Amino acid sequence: MKKLFAGSLLLTAMTTASAFGQGNAPLKLVKTVTLPGYSGDFDHFAIDRQRGRFLLAAEDHATLEIFDLKTGDHLKTIKGFGAPHTILIRPSSSNILVTDSDQMTSVLNAETYEKNGSVTLTPGADSAGYDAVANIWYVVTGGKDVKMTTAEIEAINPDTGKKLSEIKFNDNHVEAMAIEKGGDRLFINLAQTNKLAVVNRKTMKEIAEWPVPPAKGNAMVAFDEAAKRLYVVCRDPGMVVVMNSDTGAVVSTAPAPLRADEVMLDIPSHRFYVPGGEGYIGVYDTSNPNSVKMIAKVLSAPGAKTAVLLPDMKKMLVAASPGDTKNVAKVLTFQLP
C-alpha cells in the first residue's frame, strides 16, 4: 500500500508541476510522521515558535500531541483531556489554553504541559478566535454535540479566565469565525441555519445575518480585509462561497474538497488552501477577488482535513485523521515554493 500511495503522489506532483512550471508546484510533500494506534478525528494545530514546537489536538484520542517545529518529529503525548479542540498559545504567556468539549477548558504550563488551572464555560467548548490587540479569546460553546438547541460565543480574558461577555445564537451548530483587525466585527458561521452572522465585538450584539445560498454546511471562513472578501467554505456540497464583507453579497463560488475543516489564507501570494478529508488540498488563486479559481488539487491522504499554514517557513502541516477507518493517523509536512 505504501508503494501505491507514493506512486500516486508522484503522479499528482508531476501533473501539478506541469501546470505551474517545472519545480514550481504549489505544495510538495516532504515528510510523513505516522501515529499508530490512533482512531477518530484530529482537530486543530497551534504553533509555539518560542519553544520550537507545534501542538495538535487529538479530539477523539483525548490527547495533545507535541511535535518539533523544525523537524516535524513527534516528541510526546499529553493525556488528561475529554475532547480537545482548539489551542491558544501566546508569546507573552507561560500558559496554554485548550478548549475541551467534555470538560472545563484547561490551562497548561507551556513548558511542561502540566495542568495548572481551568476556565469554566458552557459545555461544548470547541472552535475559538483570538483578538491579540484586546487580549480576548472568543470561544464557541453549546450546540448539538452537548444536546443544546442554542450555541454561544463566550468572550474571556485568557490571563484571568474571567468571562467578559457572551452572545447567544438560535442555532445548534456554530462553527469557525474570522476576526476583523481593522474594525470591531466578528464573522461566525451558523451552520444549522446556513447563515453568516456579523457581531460587533465591543457590544457583543449581532448586527447582521447573511444567508449563504449557494451551499449548506458553511463551516470555515477566512477574511481578506483589504479586498473586502470573506471566503466561506461549505460542506454540502464542497464549495467555497466568496462574499463581500460589507454587504454579504455572494461574489463568486468555486468547488472545494469534501469533509474540509480548515481554510488558510496567504494574502501576499494571492492564494488560499482548503484541505479535505477525501484526500486532497484545494489550492485557490485570489488575484481577481471577483472570480476566485481553484488552480490545483494536491494529493494528501484520506482524512487529512485540518492544517496550519506557515508562510514564513514555507510549510504547511496537515493532520490526517483515521476517522472510522483502519487508516494510520499521520501528520504531513508540505513545502511551499
The model's pLDDT over 146-205, given as tens digits with 9 standing for 90+, comes to: 999 999 999 999 999 999 999 999 999 999 999 999 999 999 999 999 999 999 999 999
Other C-beta atoms closer than 10 Å to the C-beta of 215 total 19
Other C-beta atoms closer than 10 Å to the C-beta of 136 total 17
pLDDT of residue 24: 65
pLDDT of residue 326: 85
Average pLDDT over residues 278-307: 97
pLDDT > 70: percent of the chain: 93
Average pLDDT over residues 124-150: 96
Closest to 33 (Cα-Cα) out of 299, 327, 319, 337: 319
Q: Is the peptide bond before 237 cis (omega within 30 degrees of 0)?
A: yes
Between the two ends of the chain, the Cα-to-Cα distance in Å is 28
Task: Burial-class residue 68 by CB neighbours within 10 Å (0-12, 13-18, 19+).
Answer: middle
- Residue that the C-alpha cell 489554553 belongs to: 97
Model confidence over 255-266: pLDDT tens digits?
Answer: 999 999 999 999
Model confidence over 19-73: pLDDT tens digits?
Answer: 444 346 799 999 999 999 999 999 999 999 999 999 999 999 999 999 999 999 9
In sequence order, the 6+-apart residues with CB closer than 8 A to the CB of 37 are none
**Residue 18, pLDDT above cutoff 80:** no
Least confident range of 23-27, 153-157, 302-306, 318-322? 23-27
Cα 195 to Cα 150, 170, 198, 212, 320: the distances in Å are 14, 11, 10, 5, 28
Closest to 57 (Cα-Cα) out of 302, 307, 334, 332: 307
Classify residue 23 by its DSSP letter. T
pLDDT of residue 215: 97
The confidence band for 104, taking pLDDT boundaries of 50, 70 and 90, is: confident
Closest to 157 (Cα-Cα) out of 229, 55, 88: 88
Spatial contact of 137 and 158, defined as CB atoms under 8 Å apart: yes
pLDDT > 90: percent of the chain: 89
SS3 132: coil
Q: Whole-angstrom Cα distance, residue 246 to residue 150?
A: 27
Mean pLDDT, the chain, whole residue set: 92
Q: Whole-angstrom Cα distance, residue 185 to residue 202?
A: 8
pLDDT of residue 255: 98
Sheet-wide strand order for 293-299: 264-266, 271-276, 280-285, 293-299
Spatial contact of 330 and 35, defined as CB atoms under 8 Å apart: yes
More confident residue, 11 or 304: 304
Spatial contact of 140 and 127, defined as CB atoms under 8 Å apart: yes
The confidence band for 8, taking pLDDT boundaries of 50, 70 and 90, is: very low
Domain covering 42-303: architecture: 7 Propeller (2.130)
